[in-house]
């Protein structure tokens, strides 16, 4: 079965760092555009970042640019989201998404990030 599984969420203090991981099964991440999308509790969806197939291009939302970095380890077939200088407003469920807005889209169940002192 094709799926993605996120991990790495947890409680972090404001200003702290966290690295989220996205491990796929049934496909290779480098064959798809991969994205991160987040959703604060009770709120709407917010696109966070994307990486293209060959890893040569990344885009990040204004709200996280300069603080978050999407990356990939082809040997481990894993996508990452490095999150630095975390703020209270970054608290959310973070989804890893294959082929976001495409016909082969697959969402994970998300990993929860809580930012609090």
Q: Is 78 exposed, middle or buried (0-12, 13-18, 19+ CB in 10 A)?
A: middle
54 contacts 65 by C-beta, under 8 angstroms? no
Nearest-approach distance from CB 47 to other proteins, in angstroms: 4
Q: Per CB under 8 A, does 103 bind other proteins?
A: yes
If the CB atoms of residues 74 and 109 are measured against other proteins, the closer one turns out to be 109
Q: Per CB under 8 A, does 33 bind other proteins?
A: no
Residues in touch with other proteins (CB under 8 A): 37, 44-47, 50, 59-62, 95, 100-103, 105, 107-110
């Amino acid at each position: 079965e094709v799926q993605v599984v996120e991990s790495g969420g947890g409680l972090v203090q404001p200003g702290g760092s966290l690295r989220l991981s996205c491990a796929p099964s049934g496909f290779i991440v480098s064959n798809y555009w991969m994205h991160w999308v987040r959703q604060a509790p009770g709120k709407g969806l917010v696109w966070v970042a994307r990486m293209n197939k060959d890893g040569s291009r990344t885009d990040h939302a204004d709200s996280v640019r300069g603080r978050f970095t999407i990356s990939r380890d082809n040997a481990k077939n894993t996508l990452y989201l490095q999150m630095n200088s975390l703020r209270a407003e970054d608290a959310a469920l973070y989804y890893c998404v294959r082929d976001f807005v495409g016909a082969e889209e697959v969402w994970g169940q998300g990993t929860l990030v809580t930012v609090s002192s």
